[in-house]
A and B are shown apart, each in its own frame.
Chain A
Amino acid sequence: MSAEAVKQDDAPAEGSRDWRALLREIAESSALVVVMAVVASMVIGGLLIIFADPDVSDAAGYFFARPMDTFTAAWDAVSSAYTAMFRGSVWNYSADTFAQQFKPLTETLTMATPLIFAGLGLGIGFRAGLFNIGAQGQIIMGAMLGGWVGFAWHLPVGLHLLVAVVASALGGAIWGFIPGILKAKTGAHEVIVTIMLNYVAANLLAFALSQDAFQRPDSDNLQSPIVDTTAQYPLILGSSYRLHLGFLLAIAAAIGVWWLMERSTWGFRFRAVGANPRAARTAGMNVSFGIIAVMTIAGALAGLAGSAQILGTEKSLTTGIAGSFGFDAITVALLGRSRPMGTVFAGILFGAFKASGPTLQVAAGLPVDIVLILQSLIVLFIAAPPLVRFLFRLPTPTNEKVVAA
């Protein structure tokens, strides 16, 4: 292709191709850019911590008399914040017993579990060119259906868990199928539909919790009965830790998704449809079916994230069952470059952020919002690779260069 043709063809002609170009850019940003984005946001986060810290502003009041005080205070603020995050999420070296020292890491993995599930699903969508914002609703529907099977049905050990997990996946799958079929058959944009379905799911849950079928008998609060122990994920490290079987299932799901996307005919089709739907269609691929299948699989994985919540950590339905996992999972999938391995690592990183919140607040006296700001900054940087490359003087990747005819 000629140099001049490349220049012209690069301009996206329509809105939906803008989305696709953005997704592609993110999916193909190098691992180095991702790591550097994390580093850059830690640096900016550090500056925010310095500005928010009362000791630093006190010392800055007499900066010209004793400038070192300001720097010392700043260093103390940043280091205590980041060490608190480390202690809250990886290894609590100041705890007395080994069990307590080890606990933060298991908390991180526990928090990571729903993020990995949902992130895997979103990643499939992103690679197929679908901007699925609906993980939140899909998690809620998964948790509702799985939870209902968990507390309303009473089945033997083993079978009960299996049925509840499948029900969770089914709940999410239905909530993914709806925007999928609407997109495939009517062209409705998946971003709009999934956002709206998030509201529907959240309010459906609130409504259900006010009904007898979901209401806990002895309670006036909006909460369901506790799921039977037979339907709960077994704890894999004993009762002192919350880490449950769902985490291993998430890792297995990651391997499954890798196979699906890289080694199966379905994944080949999904990727082709995502990268160039017109060429996929011209080559005889059924684009509509691809869209529906991708959205349904993504929904099922988000539904499994719901199962990690209801059958793993929460055990009863409340309106906050999904937390902000559905939205954080978008970040996780983007950070993981929509690849299964990357999503697992990104999920663990964000699980660590979530797990470190309480320690940060208690030990360093900083608002949890700092964590949210860090998360947001990471995404911001990843969405603008040229900015990161500029900041760290990284070379431009070769695929952006013009290829000679």
Chain B
Amino acid sequence: MKLELKGITKRFGTFTANDAIDLVVESGTVHALLGENGAGKSTLMNVLFGLYDADEGEILLDDEPTGFTGPGDAMAAGIGMVHQHFMLVPPFTVAENVMLGHEQVKGPAKLLDLAAARAKVKEISDRFKFDVDPDAVIEDLPVGAQQRVEIIKALSRDAKVLILDEPTAVLTPQETDELLAIVKDLRDAGTAVVLITHKLREVQAVADTITVIRRGKVVGTAEPTASQEELASLMVGRDVSMTVDKTPAEPGDVMLAVEDLSVIDEDGIARLKHVSFDVHAGEILAIAGVQGNGQTELAEALLGVVPTTSGTATLDGELLTGKSIKETLHSGMGFVPEDRTEDGLVATFTIANNLILDLHDVAPYAKGMALQPRVIAEEAEEHVKQFDVRTTSIEQTAGSLSGGNQQKVVLAREMSRPLKLLIASQPTRGLDVGSIEFVHKRIIAERDNGAAVIIVSAELDEVLALADRIAVMYHGEIVGIVPPDTDRDTLGLMMAGAHEEAAA
């Protein structure tokens, strides 16, 4: 089957998310759609899948125009999509999830034909060596297996075109390799695969054709043999350096000492189990691991957002545990939260006000109870300039900024205090390459100023680029702390729970 998009244009208000995009996907090939976050890849696929109506352009299947009005039409026509966020019902079994939406019934009582669904799951699972048990409950499965269930779901509906939207964002390196192998098998079996991603390595590994999208437009196609630098510059529109310039660390004394720290959440589940480590002044410790293995809890426990159940954290000789968040921030911690829109910014506040969220009640921003609007504005102008926040006015709301500029506002605020420790969680998630460079530079500058830095990142590339030491977390524990030149395979195994000796 041949799928063709012709001149697809999709606008949201005045913003054009897709601008006259042409794309041809042939069966038996892997077509990579490469672009930065916000380039319009997901929008395009949502148009294709019938979730959005295109303002202009048409979709052709085997040269026949289609008129999808919803995902049902798209699925019936043989298009399957695996969303970035899985569309599975957690308490249902694999078979139940697979049959969901087009349930088969049997007998006069119209009972659900679970046996048929189970057989189908088994058949597809065996064919592609998915190793998925039809009777397993979704919430008990690891993320990688859940993703395979999504693929089975699509294949069970005879998908000839399979769209994978950022499929590796939630996977360990090993799971990623498994997925890429599956993609190749599917291709060999004749399926057309559209792989949406911003990760160059994956594109190089499996793609037959590469289409690069920037700001809603197709800016070019590339051969899978193209180098990472070539692909990156196509994606960003200028030359980018794929490495981070930094001098070797000159670690000083221990700045942060964490001893036996544990967190048990409201449901009684241990999220952080007796974690101990040190971070020195002038050193970046990167915390690697698959999302959801306690990294978030560790960062939040250090700030004091989540209560700890045992252990201590000491910053420059001062006990952090037991302090209020405010006291912790004022004692020299900078905190860049993982989710800047949820935890880092008040979207409806102006940039100026977001820059003083933490310091709004101290001089010079306040005198007694009275805010000092003039000082606040002057300082905001200064910070916006220093951190290169692209905005027309400091009175714009933070919510109107792009992700990169929002992150710069958060960094500007957190770095405006003298810092002993900077904790940055997923500091570059969702940012374009240009902003990533900027954020990395600032973080290294903070290290070179003598602060201890903790980076929590799910991107192995980022960890390897920034870290002076790498701590790998798995199931709430630190399985090992290794030097920055550790190879990916070892790190990958550690991220899956193997201890460093076993992994090496």
Chain A contacts to B: CB under 8 angstroms: 1-5, 8-9, 24, 28, 263-266, 268-269, 271-272, 275-276, 278-286, 396, 398-405
Contacts and interface: CB of A to CB of B under 8 A. Distances in A.
A1 B358 contact: no
A283 B357 contact: yes
Contacts of A398: 13
A123 B326 CA distance: 27
Interface of B: 12-15, 17, 36-40, 42-43, 46, 85, 215, 303, 305, 324-326, 328-330, 335, 337, 341-349, 353, 357-358, 360-361, 366, 369-371, 373, 397, 399-404, 406, 430, 432
A3 B361 contact: no
A72 B349 CA distance: 53
Contact residues of A: prevailing secondary structure: helix
Given A3-B12, A24-B348, A264-B370, A405 B43 contact: no
Contacts of A1: 38, 341, 401-403, 406, 430
Nearest to A287: B325
Contact of B342 (A268, A269, A279): A279
A399 B14 CA distance: 12
B342 A401 contact: no
Contacts of A400: 13
B15 A403 contact: yes
B415 to A, nearest CB: 14
A402 B12 contact: yes
11 contacts: A8-B85, A24-B348, A269-B360, A275-B349, A279-B357, A284-B326, A285-B357, A286-B326, A401-B15, A403-B399, A403-B401
A52 B263 CA distance: 66
Contacts of A396: 13
B15 A275 contact: no
Lowest 7 A-B CB distances belong to which pairs?
A405-B38, A2-B38, A401-B13, A284-B326, A283-B357, A402-B12, A4-B42
B13 A402 contact: yes
B37 to A, nearest CB: 5
Nearest to A27: B348
Contacts of A280: 346, 357
B54 to A, nearest CB: 14
Which among A268, A280, A402 has the greatest number of chain B C-beta atoms within 10 A?
A: A268
A128 B127 CA distance: 56
A204 B51 CA distance: 56
B334 to A, nearest CB: 12
A185 to B, nearest CB: 15
Contacts of A403: 15, 399-402
A279 B343 contact: yes
A297 B37 CA distance: 45
Given A263-B371, A265-B361, A405-B38, A3 B346 contact: no
B145 to A, nearest CB: 23
Nearest to B348: A275
A24 to B, nearest CB: 7
A284 B324 contact: yes
